[in-house]
Amino acid sequence: MKNKFKEYHKFTKEELMRLSKESLYVFDTNILLNMYRYSRSTVEDFFTVFSKLKKENRIWIPYQVGIEFYENRINVIAEQRKSYQEILKSITKFKNDISAKYKNHPFLNFDEIFSELNNKAITEIENKICEAEKLQPNWLDRDEILERINLIFEDSTGEEFTEERLKEIKSEGKLRYENKIPPGFKDDNKSDHKKFGDLIIWFEIIEKAKSSKKNIILVSGDTKDDWWLEKDGNKIMPLPALKKELYKQAGVNFHIYTPDAFLEFSTIELEKKDSSISEARKFQEFDELIGTDQEYNYKLQSISLNLSSPFLSDKFKNIIIEIENNIISVMERLIPSDPINDSINYTKNINHIEIIKFQLKLMKNENFNDIFMIKQFDTLLSYLLNTLSELLLNRKLYLDDIHDLYKSISIIEKHRKFILTLT
């Protein structure tokens, strides 16, 4: 039976190790762009593995990945360089905001406090940031990362599809997206230029698998559920539909590694393997928390310490809208509807929800440009989490109701993890 439904079975660790030694590795755009984001030691570890795979003729990128890499490369470099000045501006704004907000504090003299801080801690921090900025390579003048990527993938890049073939893929893509056939349907709301990128990559992978007759391991930071089978926030394995389609079309197996898993399952001895895996995992977790739109992620990652950024403010306002539109409606629907026999709990739950709605309405007008506002929002999320947990105690809930509550709790916990990365 397993052979007929093999796409529903996870690979064992032993099978993964064997797969890692013989498969063709296909790299997604975000992996190449991450070479500008990681520390130099982590980048060296990645290129060490790239070089070994190159010698074994087991490394490849689709043509579409090359296009996306070049389209996003300059933006990523620019955001990295800009981040230093953004952080310095954030420190200055922090000092000014504190001074303005508490300048008449009866027991604290902020002129004296900041005078001491400027002479010691803050000046030292600002100097370290300036020194780090000087060490930042000017990749717009001479880009050694680009040179190394070009060398690795010189003869390991797919051919461009013809215009006719691209039209066929986009036409088929519309039908696939309507029926939620992976991959790519999560990008259906993007512009036509970006909507079918994942699907083009997938069809390129299928063609490469047919010609190479090798099992495929895709290395990607994209963890949307049009690539991954997910349960309670945990990535279990690639979607069975993807595994089945590739096996049916090319007769080979398919697996996906996130960047950290790629290093972890590498059999090569790396000088700083543990720290490189840890760093890759940290970036992966950050991207998963804030979403998977590459351009937005790179901007937000580089300015995550700059609390005055409009991107950060927009992120919080989108969270509020999500709570108002999805979670509040679940709570209102599931309030125990027995105001006569259980008036105390009924009134308490009603009051809790009204308080949350009122606070969300107020916070929607905030800019979220200081740490105090962000922590206030986190306090509200904690209050919301407790209210959802109390609703779970209702013994008259249906299974669908319980599922909706757990899903709401999972969403709130995800947003609180994001806040933790800022505070």
| Average pLDDT for runs of 10 along the chain of length 423 | 87 88 95 92 94 95 97 85 67 64 58 59 67 69 92 96 95 94 89 88 98 96 89 84 96 95 80 82 72 48 49 80 88 66 62 83 78 81 85 72 83 84 67
User: Looking at residue 36, what DSSP letter applies?
Assistant: G
pLDDT confidence of residue 344: 56
- Between CA 276 and CA 282 the distance in angstroms is 10
What pLDDT score does 206 carry?
A: 98
Beta bridge partners of 255: 217
pLDDT at 338: 52
> 295 with 68: CB under 8 angstroms?
no
Q: Which of 64, 51, 34 is nearest to 260 (CA)?
A: 34
Distances (CA, A) of 141 to 37, 238, 298: 18, 39, 21
Cβ atoms within 10 Å of 300's Cβ, excluding its own: 22
Q: How many other CB atoms sit within 10 Å of the CB of residue 167?
A: 11
d(CA 400, CA 406): 10
C-alpha distances out from residue 99 to 42, 88, 105, 108, 236, Å = 40, 17, 10, 10, 50
3-state helix, strand and coil shares in percent for the chain, rounded to the nearest 5: 65, 5, 25
pLDDT at 283: 79
Q: Which amino acid is at 255?
A: H
| Amino acid 29: pLDDT | 96
Q: Say if residues 302 and 83 touch (Cβ distance below 8 Å).
A: yes
Q: What is the pLDDT of residue 208?
A: 97
The interaxial angle of helices 197-212 and 63-101, nearest 10 deg, is 140
